[in-house]
Each structure stands twice: as C-alpha cells, then as structure tokens.
Amino acid sequence: MKKPLTGLLMIVLGANELFAGDFSALSRAGDVKLRIGSYNVYYSSCFPADDGGPSGNKYNRIENFARIVNAMDADILALQEVFHAKPYFLLKTPEGILAHMEEITGESWYMAHDYEFYPDQEPTPPDGSTGKGGRFIFSRYPILWQDHFNNRITAALIDLPPEVSDKDVLVVNVHYSAQVQADKTGEFVAKVAAGEIDGIPSDVMIMVCGDFNGTEGKARYNAVFDSIPDFTNLRPTHLGWDEPNYTTIGSTYFDNNWNPIDIYTKIDGDTGEIIAKAIDYMFWRSDRLETKHAHILNPMIMDQTTLNTYGLQQVDTALDPEGGLKTNLRADHWPYFADFIDPDGGEPPEPGPNLINNPSFESGDSSGWTVPSEAAVTADSASHGTYSLKLSHTNHITNTRQIVDLKPNTDYTFTIDINSLIKLGREVPSGRVY
C-alpha cells in the first residue's frame, strides 16, 4: 500500500482493522520438512557479552532476539552482524554466542562462522580494530563442511537427516559491502554446481541468503542470481499483511489508534512518497524440497492475541525496543524465513543399486577391495551393520580402492561413513563425507 504522506497527516482506520491478518504460517505445519531463516541483528545488539553483560551496543535487544528466535523456530538460521562494530570482539567469542543460543532455545546447535580475532593487536580508537567477521550459521543438523571468504561470506554444508531429505543443503550466508563480494559468491556457487568444490556434491540443495545491500536487478543481486540457471528468488513477504509487501529494511507506520498503515524503507522528503526496498534475499535451488511459502516476521503488525500465541512483543524487531511504540517505528532489518515441503509426500526417490562390491565390508573381510597391508576389517566400530575397515594412517585412504564400471552422462553419489578423525587433505569429523 503506497500512499503519499505529507507533514503530520495521519490516516485513521477502524480499531484493529489491519490487525486481522493471517499469521498462522508462523506455526510449522505438519508437511514442513525444513525451515530456514535469516536476520541481520544490527551491530551485535542481540547477544550479550561473554560475561553476561549487555550487548555493548547502545540498543540492547537481547531479550527481544530470544523471543524472535523461538517464535521463528528455524532449523537453520543465518545471522548477519553478530559481530560488526569492532569493539565487540573484545566482549564476545563464538563460544559465548553459541552458549547463549543454546540457553535461550533450550537446544543444542551446530555453528559455522567467519569470526577472526587478533588478541595481540591493540585496539585502534574509535573502531577498536581487533577482529573481523560477523556471519554466523546455526543448524539443528550436523555441519559437514564450512568455509568463509572475502570477509563477508560464510558457507556451510549441512547434513540433513533422511526424514527431511535424501540430499544435503549448502547454506551461503552473505552481507555485502562491495561488488567483489557478490562476484565471489556467484563464482563459488557456480563452482559448486559444476562439481569443482571438494566435499560438496554438485547437485546439493543451495540456499544463498542475507543482506545484499542492493536491490533486485542491480549488480550485486545479478552476480549471485545469474550464477546458476536454476535459482529461484523466494521473495519473502510480510506475514499477515493484507497485500504483498517485500520491504526488508525500514519502518512500520501507525495511525493515531496504533493501527499499522504501511511498511516502508523511507519517505521522500520532497514528495512525501513512501519508498519500500528489499535488500535481503533468499535464492533457492533444489530438485527435492519445494518452497511452501516465504515470509518476513514483523511483530509490529500483529494483534495482541497473535503476539501472545507466539510469545512475542510488538517492539521485538524494533531497533530501539526500549523506546516503545512510535508512529514511525524503525526496525532496521526484519527477520524472514522460508518453509520447504516434499512434493512427493515425503518419500525420497528410489536409489539405484550400489555398484560397489562388498561396500560395507559385511562379508567380514576386504574381498572386492585393494587395501593396504596394515588395514583390517573389524567389528569394533561400524557406523551401521557389523563390520568396518580400520585404517591406521592417513595415507591409507588413497590406497584403498575398487574399480567400478560407470556409464557416461550419469550422476553418481559416492559417500564414506567415518567414525573417527582422519585427514583427507583437510580434517574431517565423524560422519558422512561425499
């Protein structure tokens, strides 16, 4: 709803008229397999210091953030500006951030981040340049691989359980300040799709989300969206609003009766025109999970019954929640989420036959394989079944082989289940490796 606003003119509507929206999508329906959320939390204002002290920002939004996280109930949550203004590196650590997440949700989380701290570097006023980073990914499911680059991009390959999908998901969390960062994201995604990144299947589901600091159709957007042909822009809309509104940064405007009448980024000082912008995006690629809906979570437009239902307060996404309601209530960024369902009703496609002879060594020996002389088939530590192959040196993995006949122009998936820490050119935790 774009209306020109002039001076202090207020448009008065019937009491709670626009509070009658449908917010039910915030409750996860039974067909939802996966929920992914994203939120720019504004200059570290949503996390306490490691010693339990305030955030260090002039706005303390710690309790507000806790309510947002629990109401959103995302399986995977990408956050920007967890660290941003550099003095916060003296107050907080990733370990403290993770501990706080687990405390406010009552759950255990896996975490990927791009935090770097330089303890021997003296803070340089006024910024206190002691570190860099700020993009964090929290996941209910194990993280198989993670990396960060260009100081503005954090990526994590997440091991989804079979009841969610038979494919894993790569989440790329971004917060751009320069075009080169978007270019690097596009290059990385293209390499993933081409099978050029070790440890990541080329057909993995991909989510790129975060703060682009740029609008649709502009260079930063295009560099990522056009990097592969099968990206979809999910375009989250304000949940409960009476018509689509894609504004991701700005304010909610209220009338004299505290009914919300518009959501916008800014008002043109000369014309009074409302300008609404989306600069936060979700780009999705998947041939497994289908998008059910994508929404922006804006408690400012919720009625009190809905707020009570989800344990929220109307000012929870306000930049200054302690300042209370204002006719122009600024949010900086709003959080947003997308729900994904299995269009086949939850049944994964039938896998083809396993082409490897004696794949899990269930014969009790290494028949079918060429293995180092020091390798042994053992019943001590199988991840499933009874037997596994025990290798005593990192070089042994490259000397364990089997020749398999493959067909050209056919996709195959090769996985290894690992039950202890080894090195494959990089350290790999226990779990499944592609």
Could you give the CA distance from residue 43 to residue 117 in angstroms, rounded to a whole number?
17
Comparing C-alpha atoms, which of 298, 255, 303 is closest to residue 20? 303
The tens digit of pLDDT for each residue in 152-208 reads: 999 999 999 999 999 999 999 999 999 999 999 999 999 999 999 999 999 999 999
d(CA 77, CA 97): 13
**So what's the pLDDT on residue 129?**
52
Structure tokens at 27: 């409750």
- Per the DSSP assignment, residues forming a β-bridge with 83 are none
Note the pLDDT of residue 85: 64
Angstrom distance (rounded) from CA 306 to CA 178: 39
Per the structure block, which two tokens stand in for 424? 């494959």
Residue position matching structure tokens 């629990």: 70
DSSP code at position 28: P
- The pLDDT score that the predictor gives to residue 428 is 46
Give me the pLDDT at residue 128, please.
52
Tokens of 84: 């941003």
Q: List all residues 6 or more positions away from 430 whose beta carbon is below 8 Å from its beta carbon.
A: 418, 419, 420, 421
pLDDT bin (cut points 50, 70, 90) of residue 121 is: low
Name the fold adopted by 29-341.
Deoxyribonuclease I; Chain A (3.60.10)
CATH 3.60.10.10 positions along the chain are 29-341
pLDDT band at 1 (very low <50, low <70, confident <90, very high): very low
The first and second tokens of residue 126, run together, are: 């006024």
Give me the residues paired with residue 77 across strands.
Answer: 37, 138
What value does the mean pLDDT take over residues 364-393?
A: 82
Cα distance between residue 367 and residue 359, in whole Å: 10
The pLDDT > 90 percentage for the chain reads 63
* Residue 384: C-alpha distances to residues 239, 259, 361, 417 (Å): 44, 58, 11, 9
380-416 pLDDT tens trace = 777 667 888 888 765 556 678 889 888 876 767 777 7
DSSP state of 87: G
Average pLDDT over residues 59-66: 96
pTM value? 0.77
